[in-house]
Amino acid sequence: AQTVTQSQPEMSVQEAETVTLSCTYDTSESDYYLFWYKQPPSRQMILVIRQEAYKQQNATENRFSVNFQKAAKSFSLKISDSQLGDAAMYFCALISNFGNEKLTFGTGTRLTIIP
């Protein structure tokens, strides 16, 4: 079984500042993908960033980057230069690459941007 834990139900950050959302996970698989999904209020969930477990380099997408610590099973999301449009629920998720097509989600972190 695989599990994903997000220990911060809510976070807030001043506009233009940097915020880090935490995620830890557990899986017995050696090959897997980790994701951060964003769900804006009343809008569809979209993928923010993806990390493949066998890649040591942390993924980056514009203002979004991850800190992937495989040994610690930690996968945090850093949002730089926070913008009002970043306000959303953020979900960390895990899928194993082979044989298990189920995506396991964390419970989410609600991010508020303070103008």
Partner 1 sequence: DVKVTQSSRYLVKRTGEKVFLECVQDMDHENMFWYRQDPGLGLRLIYFSYDVKMKEKGDIPEGYSVSREKKERFSLILESASTNQTSMYLCASSHPPGLAAADEQYFGPGTRLTVT
Residues making contact with partner 1 (CB under 8 A): 6, 9, 33, 35, 37, 43-47, 50, 91, 95-98, 101-103, 105-108
Q: What separation in angstroms does the CA of 28 have from each of 3, 35, 38, 85, 94?
A: 10, 17, 26, 36, 12
Identify which of residues 72 and 102 has a Cβ nearer to partner 1 in the complex: 102
Residue with Cβ nearer partner 1 (15 or 107):
107
Shortest distance (Å) from residue 43 CB to partner 1: 7
Separation of alpha carbons 2 and 38, rounded Å = 21
Complex with partner 1: residue 4 or 79, whichever CB lies closer: 4
Token digits of residue 50:
């993806």
Residue with tokens 């989600």: 105
